[in-house]
Amino acid sequence: ILGFSTPPGRLSMMAFILNALTCALGLLYFIRRGKQCLDFTVTVHFFHLLGCWVYNSRFPATLTWWLVHIVCTALMAAIGEYLCMRIELREIPLTSAPKSNV
């Protein structure tokens, strides 16, 4: 069903890309570590590959399927790492005010 020539194929590819963007936000909220984003991204896509293999009873062999998933993996990892690094590199507030007014 994936392909550039038909509207359902383009819609499916767009859904995969939007899924990669929302999963990048998931990496931000659940992982919060830039170094681990690539690991979790590859793990999620590996389990998706296994699920597709079991569901279809054959290994995915089409070039468009592989291209879409490679692009989505790269997009998810890059955006997730960028978002996590922005959180990690925030300044630590250092205040000299007393904690309590005893």
Question: Tens of pLDDT along 65-101?
Answer: 899 999 999 999 999 999 999 988 887 777 776 666 6
CB 1 within 8 A of CB 12: yes
Residue 55 falls within a domain, yes or no? yes
What's the number of domains the chain is made of?
1
Average pLDDT over residues 43-67: 93
Residues 6+ apart with CB under 8 A from 31: 37, 40, 80, 84
**HSE-up of residue 34 (Cα within 13 Å, Cβ side):** 11
Residue 61 falls within a domain, yes or no? yes
pLDDT at residue 99, rounded to an integer: 66
Residues 11-28 pLDDT 10s? 988 999 999 999 999 998
- Domain extent, residue 67, equals 33-84
Residue 68 falls within a domain, yes or no? yes
Model confidence, pTM: 0.80
Average pLDDT over residues 38-60: 94
